[in-house]
Amino acid sequence: MTHPLRFGIWALVHGPRAAHQDPEEPYDASWQRNRDLVLKAEALGFDSTLVAQHTINPHQEDLDQLEAWSAAAALAALTSRIEIITAIKPYLYHPVVLAKMALGIENISRGRFAINLVNAWNRPELERAGIGFAEHDERYAYGREWITLVSRLLQGERLTHKGRYFDVQDYALRPKDLYRARPRIYVGGESEPARALVADHGDVWFINGQPLDDVAGLIRDVAERPRNAAPPLRFGLSAFVIARPTTDEAEAAHHRLLRLAEKDAPMKAIQKANTDPKVVMMQTMQKSARVGSNGGTAAGLVGSYDEVADRIIAFYAAGIELFMLQFQPFEAEMKRFAEEVIPRVRQRQTGAGSALRDSDRRVG
Ligand SMILES: Cc1cc2nc3c(=O)[nH]c(=O)nc-3n(C[C@H](O)[C@H](O)[C@H](O)COP(=O)(O)O)c2cc1C
């Protein structure tokens, strides 16, 4: 089955995505700014927003960090069409509590809520809270049992479960999801246990921004895995966009951000020291010079409006249905993307001779 090509934006819950010392993007991770940003995105036609979850700012701990779940609930009440995806690190919430919160926001949003299961990389966030920072694969083992419980509770099941980490007796959440079987489950993470987890328990796999051939290889690997009777897995891509009328202008804008990002070197050194070296995501991100988090410009969405539209179509043909995008300065570049790139993508999808047919797609 072919899913429509969708565009989303990263909410700015922890500051600018490319460079922190940019006069065009003063630091603002406030609720008011994120509220206005997401409402603007919805009005511009974006389909989805991703609210990252960090209890303390992962770049610099004295910087503001917007709380993801309270913000998501408020966004759910204020918006009417956009999907709201909110990240969650299993160690921070008991599965019963998290499932209850997710069902609440699902019903506030009238069926537009999703969770993004992520298994943590920022050591101090968990360690200094006294929760402890388990080893990489152990975190995934915990996350696997955790999502099994959450998924069943989200479906309204009366649950009895005794496992390695949780002991839940005769537990059912009401009201159930009033709009569908349960909120959607995304998974972000690139390691082997992340891939196994999403194939077994996810609906959509979020891939870090990287070149098309690498993304196509990752999709092939995970799409072939057994799904226990669940529908085929779907795929999203994180990317930082720099689109301009010409290639040269886009390259110049990329260089401006790369130069500014150099000023963040001390902050990045602290971040590196705080990061679990086994996290595959971080290894992927060392491969090339880029700006933006989660792969950023490594996905190659830097170029003229036509080049960026062509590359999006190529990713879609490889199986990506949701593009979760970052910009800087965010509001202005998001608007430019909506006005210049989205129409070109839609034109390519429907235009004579260049229509993307189901049969053209390598993975559905
Ligand atoms: C689209 C996307 C969004 C993510 N959002 C968050 C987040 O909100 N909070 C967080 O701590 N990690 C986030 N992560 C990072 C995951 O926690 C990271 O990939 C994880 O530590 C798994 O590591 P792995 O790549 O070794 O599987 C995100 C990853 C992706 C791909």
- DSSP notation for 203-247: SEEEE-S--HHHHHHHHHHHHTS--TTPPPPEEEEEEE-EEESSH
Q: What is the Cβ-side half-sphere exposure of residue 239, based on CA atoms within 13 angstroms?
A: 26
Q: What angle do CA 182, 110, 144 make, to 5 degrees?
A: 25
pLDDT at 356: 47
Centroid of ligand 1 to alpha carbon of 205 (angstroms) = 11
The response to whether residue 118 sits with its C-beta less than 6 Å from ligand 1 reads yes
Q: What is the Cβ-side half-sphere exposure of residue 327, based on CA atoms within 13 angstroms?
A: 20
pLDDT at 359 > cutoff 70: no
Read off the pLDDT of each residue in 345-358 and give the average, rounded to a whole number.
70
Q: Give strand ranges (E) for the chain.
A: 6-10, 48-51, 83-88, 113-118, 159-162, 167-171, 184-188, 204-207, 234-240, 242-244, 302-304, 320-326
Mutate to test the pocket of ligand 1, among 9, 53, 240, 281 (most ligand atoms within 8 A of CB): 281
Average pLDDT, the chain: 94
Dmax of the chain from CA atoms? 62
Most confident among 221-230, 240-249, 350-359 (mean pLDDT)? 240-249
pLDDT confidence of 287, banded at 50, 70, 90?
confident
Identify whether the C-beta of residue 142 lies closer than 8 Å to the C-beta of residue 91: yes
pLDDT at 220 > cutoff 90: yes
Read off the pLDDT of each residue in 196-210 and give the average, rounded to a whole number.
98
The response to whether residue 189 sits with its C-beta less than 6 Å from ligand 1 reads yes
Domains of the chain, start order: 6-363 (3.20.20.30)
Nearest alpha carbon, ligand 1 atom 5: 52
175 prior amide bond cis, ω within 30: yes
The response to whether residue 279 sits with its C-beta less than 6 Å from ligand 1 reads yes
Identify whether the C-beta of residue 257 lies closer than 8 Å to the C-beta of residue 22: yes
Centroid of ligand 1 to alpha carbon of 189 (angstroms) = 5
Nearest alpha carbon, ligand 1 atom 6: 52
pLDDT confidence of 354, banded at 50, 70, 90?
very low
